[in-house]
Each structure stands twice: as structure tokens, then as C-alpha cells.
Structure 1
Amino acid sequence: MRKKPFKIKLTILIYVLCFISIGLYSIIQFRYTEQVFLNKFEQEKFMVEEQVLLAVKDADVNYSMLELQFDEQIRNALYDMHFRYMRDGSLKLPGHAIVPGVNYYVIDENNSVIMTTDPIDKGLSFQGIPEFVAFLDSVRKNGIYLSDRLSFSVRDNRVMRYSYLPSGDGRYIFEAGLNMKIMTEKYEGIGFESIEKKIRKNHEFVESVTVYDRDGNSYIYDPSGGLIKMDSKKLSILHRALDEETSIDQSEKRDGYHRYYRYIPYKIENAIGTNQQNIIEVIYNDKHLLKELNELERYTFSISLVWLVMSALLSIFLARSVSRPIEIITKAVHQVSAGNYFVETDLKTGDELEYLSKSFDQMVRTIHELREEDYAREAELERALAENRRLYYETVKMLANAIEAKDQYTGGHCDRVKDYAVLIGVELGLQEGELQNLIYGSLLHDIGKIGIPEDILRKEGKLSDFEMNLVRQHPEIGFRILHSTQFLMECRRMVYEHHERFDGLGYPQGLKGLDIDLYARIIAVADSYDAMTTIRPHRKIPLTKEEAIGELIRNSGTQFDPNIVGAFIDAFATKGAAG
């Protein structure tokens, strides 16, 4: 029997190996890609939830901004009604629509509407709604103007925003209702009804996104003008998600694909009525996923078939003598692994192996060159980082100068506060990066004063209550200014909390003790010391260093953190740098 040449045997062996390899590879690749698609689907579901929450939050904020746009006019109208009643006992509604889409009401002691600009609501009684009656009683008891967020009208479930002002004698409540449907139609794309469109634009597997209140009423109108309501069968799931304050998932299989339901609790910002608890229902399916998997299956089969045909052809060529060039390359690889970067293969086979040889030799030379360039790159990187730090500091300094330009009495104040704060930080053992954040925060601690009128900042003598309230807004103004500046994110709490007191009597949040940011506690001491030892509009003669330190000690534990005061005094005594 004639023996087959080695070349034929090698060709058959290579083809069989290729056949097995391609088969295994196709199966593994299909399963892997299938899992990738499934993971991608799960990730997109997670992303959808995040994007839905962001979209609902944006819509909520848009509603809030829209409400605030008309709040002052509505408030003035209610106060006019109240003034006329308290002056001469007359009940009179505004004679014209001050704000489009607003109706006004007078509610008596029996919780009935006795006067209104909406004739349909006249005579409407709330006695059958205990929750709302209790709310009206609380309005009378509090005796102040009150605005709710989005809620539904009792009569026809319109999405409204109500404002209330009780009369001084408690007999009547003057009410205004802003119809949010009219507002959102005027400012298209800002309300809850636009969320689904935005989400489905980027995620075609999402079927719907709807926000419901606890009773299953949505904030979206159907084509007929009525509010969309949740299926009564789903209300138990809605209530469970709200009671447990957690998201709940449901699913069902229909028409060969799965439909998924996710119920996410959401609280409307600053809501005070029954509209506090809401549910976001997101419905999506895996129809698109199944389509992708079917296409993947067909694609994998086609590619595998093509590779099998190519393997038969390639096996004939690959059966040639390739062992020697491979051995040369393998030996070179071992030498490079051992640290010899001067090896060369220099094959002359006239095929891919020669290209591989040249590429390998070039790669070795490149690796050698890169190793030589490492130290130079590191030095360049250090220079770039130093330049970035310099630019950051100059930016912060420029902002600090903008603050001081508004007030002739505070020239150099930010720089001095920075110096005192760093003095304290060093005494407390802060690291270099922490000190750098402290420097930025110290320079910018009063950046919110950019939003305070100059005549108030420069006023000599005691400020009025109104003026003092304006000045006390500067920490919050500064917080908002820095909100979108990434490299100053660490400074926001310093700016926001540097007027908090250790005993909890400060502003704007009334934080107490160690709940106040450490950097803000440091800046509070440095800021107060500089304020006491420099000329101010309300004090022409500054305190001496000793008097100022005495004030710090006297207020230690009440206005100031005792540890920070102690560190400042120690640093002052050691270095004599304060002042």
C-alpha cells in the first residue's frame, strides 16, 4: 500500500483541526456574544431607570421653575383678596386673569367653595374628603401663605398647582389654582408627558414611561383630554412599592416575547399634600433583543460555513514547511522575554512569515525606544501637572478678586483668610492635597457675595432684617455658582457651610458640631479673625490681635470648633504669623 506523503497528512490534520476549532469557536463565540447582548440588555434596563429618574427629576424641576415664574403674581392676587377682606369685610375675586390658566376660590368655614372664577366649582364641598379637610385645617392653623406642588383637582382630576392664604380671622381660605396643562402646552416639552418620547428616542425596547400618584392617576392627558389612569389590577403593586419605598419588578410573556414592568417610587420636590408619593412605571420588552439574537445565530452559521471552506483551501498552503521560521521567531521571543532587545529574526520567506518577522523586529526596536523614552515622559508629565495647578490657582485667585472688587472694605480679605486657614491646616496636620483644597475654598468662601447688592455690602451701620436676610443668602449663592465647576467641587461645602455655628445656631442649614465640614470650620475661625482685625463698614476701629483672639476663645464651643480655635492659637504662638 502506497503511503501518503507527509504534506498530505499535514494538510488533512490541519483541516481537521481547523474544522474542530471553527466549530468550537463558533459555539463559544455565539454563546459569548449572546451573553454580551443579554448583559447589554440588562445594563440598558439599568441605564433606562437612571435616565428615567433624571428625566422625571428634570421635568419636576421644569414644573417647579414654571410654577415659581407665576408664584409672585398669584401670591399678590391672594394678598389683595385678603387685604380687601380684612379692610372692609368684602369678599371679591380678581377682576381679570392675572396669570393665564389660574382660577381663584374662596373657601368658607364649612370647607365649601362660596366664590370662584370657575363657575363649575362654585358650591363644591370638600367635607367628604377627610385628608383634604385636615389639610385645610392645618392651613388655617398656620395662618400663612402656602403653595403646594403638582396635585389633582377634586372635581375632574386636572393637574393643578394650588396656593392658599387663610384670612386673619380664620373664617376663609383664599385659594388659587394654576392649570399646569395650559402651562405645559404653552411651554411644550417641559412636562412629564415629554419623558416617554425622550427615553424611547434612545431605547427602542421601552414601551412607555408614566408617572402616577398614589391613587393611580397619571400626570399625562390622553388624546381625549382626560388623565391616563393605572389599571386597577396594578394598584396593589403600586401601593406595595410606595409602602416599602423600593422598586418592584414584574414580568409576563406574551406573543413570544417578555414584557417587563418596573415600578419606581418618586417624591415630587417640596410637595406637602397627598401628592408626595408617586410611582414611575416603566414598561419595556425583549422583542428587539430576540431579533438581534436571531440575526446573530444566522450570522454565526454563515461565517462558520465560510471559514470551513477557507480552511480547506488554506490547509493546502499551510502544510508547507513552516517549522523552521516558526522556531526562529519562537527563539527570538524567548530572548526578548529574557531582556535581549538587540535580537533580529530577519526571515526571507517571501510570505506573511517574512512580514511577521519584520514586524517583530520593528516591535522589539520600538519597545527598546519606548523604554528609553519613559523617563522623559515622566518629567514632561510632572511639568504639565505643575502648570495645571498653576492655572487652577490663577482661576481661583481671579474669582476671589472679583469678590473683593465689590467691597472696598474687604480688599485682601480672601488672601488673609487663606493664609490663616493654611496656618490652621498645617497645625492640624493636613496633607498637601487637603491644604490645596483649603486654599481654593478660603479664597472663594465669599464668592456668593457677587449676588448681593453693593449698597448693602458697603452700608455703614446696622443692616435691616431684610438686608441681613439677603446677605445670609451668599453661602447658597456661592454653592450654586460652584456647582458645575468640576475642579472646585471640593470647595462647595466650604462655601456653603462657613457660616454654620458649632452650637447649631448658624446658617443656612443650622448644622451642629462635627456635622459641619472640617474645612468650613477652619474657614469660619480664619474669616472671623480677619473680620475682627480689619476695618469694616459697621466698625471703623478694628480689634487688636489679642482682643480678637480673646473673642475666639470666648466663643469657642458655641460659634467655633474648640479644636480649630486651639490650633489657630497654637500656630499663632509658634509662628507669630497671624495678622
Structure 2
Amino acid sequence: MKLTIRKKITVMVLILILTLVSTLGIIVYRYSKEILIEDTKTKSLNTINNINDYFLKNFMRDMEQVVNYWAQDEDIINYRNMPNQPKLVRDIPEHFQYVADQWGGYISVNPDVAWIYFGVQEDGSILLNPLDPTMPEDYDCRERDWYLSAVDQDGKVIWTDPYLDAGETGEIVVTVAKAVKNENELVGVIGIDIRLNKFTEIIKNLVFGEEGHLMLVSNNGDIYAHQDEAKVLENLSEEAWFNELLLNDTGVNLYKDLDDNDIIVTYLTIPETQWKLIGVTPLNINEIMIPIRNQVMGTALISFIITLFLGYGLSLILTKPVEEIMSTINKISIGEMGVRVNIKSRDEFRILGEKFNEMIFEIESLLKERSLHVGELTEKNKEIMEQNDEILAYSEQTEAMNRELSNLVGEIRNNYLSTVKALANSIEANDRYTRGHCERVRNYALEIANGMGFGKVDLNNLEFASLLHDIGKIGITSEILNKEGKLTFDECQIVKSHPQIAYDILSDVDFLKDSREIIYQHHERFDGNGYPRGLKGDEMHSSAKILAVADAYDAMTSTRPYRKTPLTKEAAIKQLQKGRGTQFDPTIVDVFILILLNS
């Protein structure tokens, strides 16, 4: 379907308004969603803090006060076993019965307390109320975790994690205990066992949001108390959000549960036990946001209807001058050159119409002028075609000359290379141990240079330098070159002069000007300890650094007067790595080793 300008304007206005309304709606929707989530987080955190302050803290404080009271009781502090008194586990000695009776009175009005007891340091007896005939006869309180923790904390009240009572009652209890001392001498430990289900009873009837629930959880994820008793002692470690709770003492955040539902998890750490009091609130964001979403969509629909009428009216106003111009263009296209645009509006369209009329006048003038010059252009075209034939002939001649010149250049290079090889052979004739050395060094050096992306000119200079790098040995006697024993200092200095001798020999050979400098530096070291000038790093010619690595590798893997057995490739690579950054450029060593390992 063809879209007219009027339709395009209407559509563009619609798109513009809808884009603005949609963007604003999305921003409002998201902002409202964030406010809702943050408000729920704040309420959840305040609620869980209030629950802890008014219920858990008060209960735990009461239990600690009881323990502190009996830990300061004179009968407890001054307790001693009677002479010949046996170790007691299932009975109370007569002189302690008064204290045990008071414990019984407290337990009768606090059914959540399972036992109150005194663990005796003297012999490991445990004096408890109510008595438990199922207690093992070999029970020793001094070996129990609650006893050891209380002694270790030295005067502080401790809380244990839930555990199964030592008797056969099947009770799961939490112990509150404190060490008792008489003038810094340990007398024993006072303890109270609280039934674990007490904590579930505390939080069971508490309200946490409309659909939320509370629980007490250990750092291992074990649930110690839950508003749903069936979930006690289940483990939360598989919940993705649980491990994050262990990183902080308190917090609130939005998570996903195992069923991929949104939940807000609020938590705080109970200092006495390090348990986490956790509140979980389901959050059906989509359902809550339905009214806001409907309002946004309604606003968008009303905006669409209003924009549709506005866009259509605007397009009527804007397209009338355009239709006038299009009508004139259609008449001109069928040869009616005398027509003109007549726009009466007082805006840019009127100026456009005037300029359009001027353009038509210019086109008419140009058409007349074109007719006059067509003949001239035809004649000029004939001349150009004739000249083109001549240019084509010259081009063929030039191409033939270029081919001939290329052949000459290749022949000259071959002649240069033959000359260089002849000079290289003269080197090897003087040193029986280096036959083929220059050719091998050339091959290694060119492989490295190609691997590093050297250009053709640099490759030529490096090739000549590799073949001639030992030409200076012509000036050194064969006795020194082929000496099998260790060279004297003077003999070493003579050998070290061969780069200078080479430099002097080649001084008058113009095409070896650059190669001569490479040869002169090929015994310099990357760390500046080479010869003859002690150059280092970037002071050295890059091709000279390549030649140094190639020369050293071939020397290590070839027979020499001072080494009858050449190194293996693997041993030579290790030596190159050893000299990396000192004798040799690290980058060149890395490139060469990669070439060797792939060959």
C-alpha cells in the first residue's frame, strides 16, 4: 500500500506520542514497582526487629537471668561432695535437695524448661531436676559440649545448638549454661535445657505480613523453629538466597525461591546463638501492579485516540501545498513547461513554491543551451576516442618495458646473490667446521623475519648479511679458527675482531651498505654486554638481533672445535630461553621457538 505524505505525517505523530506515553508509562510502572518493593522491605525489616526485641530477646534474657541467679547462689558456689559420696547421675545428694526442690518449683510453672542442673567439676556428677532414670551411668558432664563451652567462655552465659538429650527421653533441647567459680577455682557449670519446640511456640502465633512466615535457622541451614512445625529440622542450604544471608548480620532483599516465585527475605542475627531469625514474604508483584498497569494502558489508549485526530488534522494543513507542488511536477513531466506553482500560504511553503518556479525557469534555459552544445560534444567525443586508441597503444608498450625491466631486476638480484654466496663459500673454505653454516643461518633468519612481517627490502638486506656474517673470519688464521682447546685472551680478542674486519671488507660494496651494518652488530647483546660496540636494546638494528639468534642456534646445533657433540633441538631451545632478555631480544626468541616447535 502506497503511503501518502498525509498518512506518513499522521503515522509519525502517532508514533511520537505513543512512544512518549509508553516511555512515561514504563517509567511510572517501574518506579511504582520499586517503591512497592522498598516499602515492603522496610516494613518487613521493622517487623522482624520488633519481633526479636519483644519476644525472642525477652525470653532469652529471662533464661539467662535464671542461669546467672543460680551461678551466684552461695549453695552452688560452695558446693562440695560429701565424704565417700559416689558419682551421681540419677540421684540428688541429701545436702543439695533444698536447691533441687527450688528448681522443681520453677520448672512446674515453666513447662518449656526440660531440666535445670548443676555439672560438678569434682567428679563429673550431674545434679538435675527432674531426675532422669534413663541417664547413662557412665555419664560425665565434663565431657559434654555445653560444659566445655561454658568453661571456655569463663563467666559468660552460652547457648548451644539443639541436640538430643543424653537420656532416652528423645527430647531435643537447647542448653543455656554458665561456669561457676569459687575464688577463681572452677566448681562446675549451671545449665538449663529448653525444649526446642519452645522457639516454634514463640513465633508460631506471630504475624509477619499478610502471607509471610518466620523461622529460626542455624548457619548450616537447619531450621530450629518454624511457624509450620513440620518444617523443623529441615535444611535450607539448597535455597539460592540462603548463602547470601551468611555474609551479613542483618538485611532484606528480593530473591527467587525454589519454585521461581518472588519472595522478600528479611533476616537478623541473634548475638547469643548466631542463629538467623528469618522472615519470608511472598511477593506477587504482577498481581499487585495490575491496577497501575491498567491505568497506564488506559492513558495510552486515550492518548492514541486524541493523537489520531490531531495527526489527521495536522496532515491536512501541511499536505495542501505539497499536493500543489506535486500537481505541477506531473504536468512538467508530460511536457507542459509553461506551468507554475501557486501557493498562497504565508510560511516556508510559499518560499519553496517561489524557489521551485525559479528552478523551472533555470531548467528551461539549460535545456535550450544543451541543445546548442550537443553538436560540439559529439565532435569532442570523436577526438577523445581517437586519443584513447593512442593511449592504449602507449600502455601496451609501457607494459612490455615493465616486464623487461622486472626481468633485468631479477637477473641483477640473482647476480648479487651469486656474488654473496661466492663470498660466503670463501668463508667456509677457511673454516672446515662451518660448512653450510651461513646457508642454514640465512634460512633461520628469513623464517624469523617472515614471521615478524618484514618487507622485501629488509628481507634482501638480511639475506645478504646472513650469508656474509662471518666473512670477517677471512682475516683470522685457520689455526685459531680450528683450535680445539680453549682460546687464550689474545686469541679471543682476534676472533672478536671479525665483525670489524667484515665491516671494512664490505665498505666499498654499495649494494651491501645496509647488510654491512647488520653484520657489524650481529655479536652485540640485548643487555649491552656484546661486541664490538656494546650496543643494547633498541640501539641494535632489528635485523642484527634476528641474525644473532639464528647464528647462535645453528652454532649450538652444529659440530664445533670446542664441542664435538652438537646440542639437540630441545636443548638448544632451552639455551635460547635462558638467554631471553639478556643475550637475545625476547620477542625474536619467542617467534623463533614457535617456528622450531611447529617444524
> For this structure pair, what is the TM-score category when the shorter chain's length is used for normalisation?
0.3 to 0.5
Larger Rg: 2
Q: TM-score, normalised by structure 2?
A: 0.36
Q: TM-score, normalised by structure 1?
A: 0.37
